[in-house]
Amino acid sequence: MAKKHSLMKKLLISLTPILQFQRIYQATNCEEAKQIIQLIKPDLAILDVMLPDGDGFSLLSTIRQYSNIPVIFLTARGEDEDRLLGLGLGADDYIIIKNDCFNTSY
């Protein structure tokens, strides 16, 4: 799990100049994510479905109570039901990452 998050962070950092991100904030659980979104109000949230203290679907439902921030799911959970649920809850996109993307020797 830590390797997966490390690679995702490296990917986002490498895209920073292209996407013109000013800052990237990383949350390791739902509570941290809610605090960042409420206090810092970033321009975009990228969520995983699987989180240590909950799930991204519940987190998105909570976020939608106080924010219309664009949300993209970036996750290994690729079942149609998960994708439909995420989009139905208000995610702007649902991107499926194959697990073998993280099985590298970087």
CA distances from 4 to 9, 48, 57, 99 (A): 9, 11, 20, 9
* Cα–Cα distance for residue pair 43/71, rounded to 1 Å: 9
pTM beyond cutoff 0.75: yes
| Domain range summary for the chain, segments of one domain joined by + | 25-102
pLDDT value of residue 98:
77
pLDDT value of residue 106:
43
* Cα–Cα distance for residue pair 49/56, rounded to 1 Å: 4
pLDDT in tens, the chain (106 residues): 333 466 667 777 777 777 777 777 889 899 999 999 999 999 899 999 998 999 999 999 999 999 999 999 988 899 999 999 999 999 999 999 876 555 554 4
**CA neighbor of 33 nearest in space, from 45, 21, 43:** 45
CATH for the stretch 25-102 = 3.40.50.2300
